[in-house]
Amino acid sequence: MIEVNMTLIVLGILHHYNSDIKNKYASEKYIYISKKILHMYEIHTGCTIDGKIIEINPAIDRDTQTEVAMPDLNIMSGLRVNLIYFEGEGEKDYLFLSKTLWSKLVGFAIFPDEYELKFELNTIACGWKKTKLFNKGTVIDK
């Protein structure tokens, strides 16, 4: 029997948060996620979501991009990550990149508002409790 790995795929533009987020593991860089997706689980601000990077691409509006010698971003594909969840207001919540992940992206000149990141997310960890995400199907949030 073949095991099919079901998961959550999140695709979003990288943004910069201009305030103190009061979490020693989170950077000030984040992507949005639709509020309805993770609220099916027992999740709260500070929980971590584990997964991997699928791809990193320049955002569509190339006129505003900082000019850099484009590194091969494919080598980031498969990199294990954890994101820190923060509840937002309205229809969106925040997934903040960990400081460890952000320090790796800085070396590739990944600028907020200029790049789109795609993650495959598998588990939520809230304290000692770990929960597998969408183990019977795949959900895509763009």
pLDDT in tens, 47-104: 999 999 999 988 876 556 656 556 677 778 899 999 999 999 889 999 999 999 999 9
Name beta bridge partners: 55.
Answer: 118
Closest Cα to residue 32, out of 85, 110, 101? Answer: 85
CA angle at residue 130 from 127 to 132, to 5 degrees? 150
Close Cβ partners of 137 (under 8 Å, ≥ 6 residues apart): 6
At position 99, the amino acid (one-letter code) is K
Give pLDDT, residue 71.
Answer: 64
Q: Is the pLDDT confidence value at 1 over 60? A: no
Q: Quick check: helix, strand or coil at residue 88?
A: coil
Q: What is the pLDDT of residues 6-45, one digit of tens each?
A: 689 999 999 998 877 788 899 999 999 999 999 888 899 9
- CA distance linking residue 47 with residue 53, whole number of Å: 19
Give pLDDT, residue 70.
Answer: 61
Q: Give Cα 104 distance to the centre of its chain.
A: 14
Q: Tell which phi-psi region holds residue 82, choosing left (phi > 0), alpha (psi between -120 and 50) or beta.
A: beta
Question: How long, in residues, is the chain?
Answer: 142
Q: Is 123 exposed, middle or buried (0-12, 13-18, 19+ CB in 10 A)?
A: middle
pTM of the predicted protein model: 0.87
At position 87, the amino acid (one-letter code) is E
Q: What is the dihedral of CA 54, 115, 27, 44, to 10 degrees?
A: -60
